[in-house]
Amino acid sequence: MLSELEIGKFRAFGYVVLRSCLSPREVARLQAAHDRAIARAPINNYFGGGSGTRTLSPFVEADDAFGELIEHPGVMEAMRDIWGTECLYNGGSDMWSNLDDTPWHSDGEPGREELTLKTAFYLDEQDESQGALSVVPGSHHPQFCAAIFRACGYWDERRPRLRLDPHDIPGAVSLHTQPGDVVLWDNRLWHSAFRRSDGRPRRTMFIGYTPDPLDDLLEISALRATVGAHLKANHPLVYSKEMMRKGGQAREKMAARLEALAWTT
């Protein structure tokens, strides 16, 4: 359970590190599954190309170990502590073997009001010189997020970026994590992650959530738009039939709630 202070920090600063949220056994299973799945994943030139970065998106269907992350009890509990309501998997999931620098960016249009959350699972220890996630605390607040972009930003093919020295961003903090820690953050935060100095790939996995919009019609519309943006012709369902067959009660409940919201007018 998160403390009152951790919940307050999340609301003020936009992130929390759930230390040792996964057991060593869960980590070992995920590392093996990641190695198997990423070997078959395509090269992704998202950051410029040539480095050999690979991505699989969505990835949660590729192995039962990944599917189980969606409703991991430790993650679900932390989100419930923060929002006082259940959070729903919104269909966004991506897995990387990343050999590139991930430049400073905020996910989506800077200044957007809609809230989405991301969980990050890092399969190796990461610190400032070895690929750690960096964030500008508090930059998830829409006005702060937009102010940073207005003052120091530019569009790179509609992706928001910063013109500043990436290693000297005012107020940035680097999040030192061990395998088993989970970083939960508000996607609107300005964040970056640089390649490891030891030359190894950053083995990473990200899953997207939205707090249950309850009966707020505007938030229901926003959730539908988020889910819709993650579906593709070759991936038409948030949960495949196979995932539903294998999932337990928690998955059943989240999927049923998402389906009910799809039909709310």
One residue of 54, 191, 195, 196 binding ligand AKG per CB under 6 A? 191
One residue of 204, 209, 222, 255 binding ligand AKG per CB under 6 A? 204
Using the structure block, give the residue that is written with the tokens 């936009």: 14
Using CB under 6 A as the criterion, what x/- string covers residues 80-119 for binding ligand AKG? ------------------x---x----x----------x-
Residue 230 C-beta: closest distance to ligand AKG, Å = 13
- Taking residue 218's Cβ as centre, other Cβ atoms within 10 Å add up to 10
One residue of 83, 104, 206, 209 binding ligand AKG per CB under 6 A? 206
List the one residue out of 94, 91, 107 whose CA is nearest residue 54: 94
Residue 16 C-beta: closest distance to ligand AKG, Å = 15
Contact of 117 with 208, CB cutoff 8 Å: yes
Residue 131 Cα to chain centre, angstroms = 16
123 part of the interface to ligand AKG, by CB under 6 A: no
Q: How many CA atoms lie within 13 A of 191 on its CB side?
A: 25
Q: Which is nearer to ligand AKG, 85 or 129 (CB)?
A: 129
* Burial 41-57, CB ≥16 within 10 A → b, else e: beebeeeeeebebbbbb
Residues that bind ligand AKG (CB under 6 A): 98, 102, 107, 118, 120, 133, 191, 193, 204, 206
